[in-house]
Amino acid sequence: MAEPAGIVAVAGEALVDLVPAPVGGYLEIAPGGSPANVAVGLARLGVPARMLARIADDPLGRRMRAHLAGNGVALDHVVPATEQTSMAMVTVDESGVPSYDFRVAGTADWQWTPEELAGALDGPVVAVHSGSLALTTEPGATHLRALLTRTAATATVSYDPNCRPLLMGAPADVLAGVHDLLAMADVVKVSSEDLEWLGLTPEAALEDWRARGPAVVAVTLGGDGVLAGTASGLRTRRPGVPVDVVDTVGAGYTFSAALLAGLHRRDLLGAARRDALRAIDGPSLDALLDEAAAAAAITCSRRGADPPDAAELAAALATRAGR
């Protein structure tokens, strides 16, 4: 049986991370940004991925373009920006958990105009994923939210709040914006860390959010697995995947990418498949979550946002099935 066709577009920041080197006490340059990492994760898993980003024509921007293109992400809808590339300085604690300090004032990622997004949905786009700073940083946030509103008529909307407390303002204000996006989203992934900052527990958020419109809501719980539910009333909890953690940079992005890749492979993306997605059964939902958790665990087993390819994920799933 042929793989389902259709492009998954990813809208948002494509910035550069400055990360601690393994030795020497200096910082290394690494491509980053939540949406860009999701696009790479999708492409590595064999899903046609389109990046919707504003990328500068400076040394860091050219490095980002090369990284995306080298991983098979389509750049034909990337806007050549005149502003500088955004940067994030990353520190990792003894448990492998990252924290971020950003340099983003006036940089390329946030300066969207409606004209730049006019053709974003051209071609066989079956889903658009977005989240994080791109949906909260003006002036571009307004235009990306309008894009998601347009997307809902023709394709699946995937959303990850991916909260960044240093830059997003008051949690109550952010939560109000999250609620607006939940009304148009089909697939939502959120971490327990995000929910804690927003003042919510995973259980309360799951029950509330799945009633606000999404077909599927998944709450990642780090090493404790994932809690998920559907608009139709399914509720499930899947265990964590044992792994020797190097760091958790990129784990959440990998989860989102693998979840979308699983839906793509099962032909559950696109407006015409919305009813089928909302009717997903328990075994299929559990399998999707297990695939996404296994992919995220692979990312945690190595440095940085380095998601697996399809062969690596298949091997990991086969190993777990054989236990």
Cβ contact 219:192 at 8 Å: yes
Query: Is residue 58 a part of any domain in this protein?
Result: yes
Could you list the residue range(s) of the whole structural domain that residue 244 is in?
7-321
| Residue pointed to by tokens 């997903």 | 280
Query: Is residue 176 a part of any domain in this protein?
Result: yes
Cβ contact 238:225 at 8 Å: yes
Cβ contact 126:264 at 8 Å: yes
Query: Is residue 2 a part of any domain in this protein?
Result: no
Q: Indicate the SS3 state at residue 288.
A: helix
Q: What is the pLDDT of residue 43?
A: 98
Residue 138's nearest CA partner among 172, 166, 177, 111 is: 111
Rounded CA gap, 227 and 236, in Å? 6
Q: Indicate the SS3 state at residue 12.
A: coil
Q: What is the pLDDT of residue 285?
A: 98
The pairing of strands 49-52 and 7-11 is parallel
Look at the chain and report how many structural domains it folds into.
Answer: 1
The residue type at 156: T
H/E element, 128: strand 125-131
Cβ contact 303:246 at 8 Å: yes
Sign, Cα dihedral of 165, 58, 75, 106: positive
Separation of CA 128 from chain center: 10
Query: Is residue 30 a part of any domain in this protein?
Result: yes
Query: Is residue 212 a part of any domain in this protein?
Result: yes
The residue type at 303: R
In this prediction the pTM is: 0.94
Q: What is the pLDDT of residue 323?
A: 65
Cβ contact 30:60 at 8 Å: no
- Digitized pLDDT (tens) for each residue of the chain, 323 residues in all: 456 779 999 999 999 988 877 777 778 888 889 999 999 999 999 999 999 999 999 999 999 999 999 999 999 999 999 999 999 888 878 777 777 788 899 999 999 999 999 999 999 999 999 999 999 999 999 999 999 999 999 999 999 999 999 889 999 999 999 999 999 999 999 999 999 999 999 999 999 999 999 999 999 999 999 999 999 999 999 999 999 998 888 899 999 999 999 999 999 999 999 999 999 999 999 999 999 999 999 999 998 889 999 999 999 999 888 76
DSSP for 161-192 reads ----HHHH--HHHHHHHHHHHHTT-SEEEEEH
Cβ contact 41:256 at 8 Å: yes
Q: What is the pLDDT of residue 102?
A: 85
- The 3-state secondary structure of 26-54 reads CEEEEECCHHHHHHHHHHHCCCCEEEECE
Residues near 64 by Cβ (< 8 Å), separated by ≥ 6? 14, 15, 16, 31, 36, 55, 85
Q: What is the pLDDT of residue 254?
A: 97
Q: What is the pLDDT of residue 188?
A: 98
From residue 202, give the alpha-carbon distance in Å to each of 36, 135, 190, 194, 207. Answer: 26, 22, 9, 10, 9
The CATH code of the domain that includes 129 is: 3.40.1190.20
Structure token digits, residue 86 = 């955004």
